[in-house]
Amino acid sequence: MHSPNDSRISINLPDENATIALAQRLAARLKPGMVIYLQGDLGAGKTTLVRGMLNALGYGGRVKSPTYTLVEPYHAAGLDLRHFDLYRLRDEDEWEAAGFRDEFNGQNIFFIEWPENAQGLIPQADIEITFEILPHGRNAEIHANTETGKQCLKQL
Ligand SMILES: Nc1ncnc2c1ncn2[C@@H]1O[C@H](COP(=O)(O)OP(=O)(O)O)[C@@H](O)[C@H]1O
Ligand SMILES: [Mg+2]
């Protein structure tokens, strides 16, 4: 399952429970300031993964997709987390007007769906997770771009 340098992993997720199990393993490895990009088509499981991570951290409330608000803040397990869904982000002006730039303070943990819509506005990802919809289940390609990301993927 692991590549020689542990920076790229491919995981088969036969059902939603497998996605949640992956979320639980990732949640245990999150560090303040981490940036995780979530990629893949609508319905691929990006929000399911975020929900699984937040629940694993003890967040008991509802985790809904921030489709219209673009971001939803969370506090759990002593961590500040931000879940972005940038599917509907229009342009840089909207980004600046919403004050999103100030969110990237090095302490918050970011889960960002549709990061391609904010290219140049958001920091580099420590980890990129790309979901592919299969006839049965999903495949997740997990790629670490930074040393922090690589540490997170170790023995995942
Ligand atoms: N590994 C999986 N196999 C099959 N279905 C899954 C899997 N993981 C999640 N799902 C289902 O797929 C849908 C994913 O929706 P969602 O997480 O909102 O996707 P996205 O945020 O990528 O648009 C949900 O209905 C969820 O139950
Ligand atoms: Mg989503």
Termini Cα distance of the chain: 10
Written out in words, the top-level CATH class of the domain with range 12-150 is: alpha beta
CA of 65 to the centre of ligand 1 (A): 12
pTM across the whole model: 0.95
> What is the per-residue pLDDT across 114-155, written as a single tens digit (0 to 9) for each?
999 999 999 999 999 999 999 999 999 999 999 999 999 988
The residue-averaged pLDDT of 30-38 equals: 97
Output phi, psi for 52, to 5 deg: -65, -40
Q: How far is CA 16 from CA 64, 74, 100, 128, 137, in A?
A: 16, 22, 31, 19, 8
For 109-135, give one letter per residue: b (16+ CB within 10 A) or e: bbbbbbbebbeebbeebbbbbbbbeee
Give the tens place of pLDDT for each residue, 98-124.
Answer: 999 888 888 999 999 999 999 999 999
Q: Counting ligands in written order, which one lies closest to the CA of residue 72?
A: 2
Alpha carbon nearest to ligand 1 atom 15, residue: 43
Distance of alpha carbon 67 from alpha carbon 14, whole angstroms: 26
Give the model's pLDDT for residue 5.
58
Ligand 1, atom nearest to 113 Cα: 21
42 Cα: distance to centroid of ligand 1 (angstroms): 9
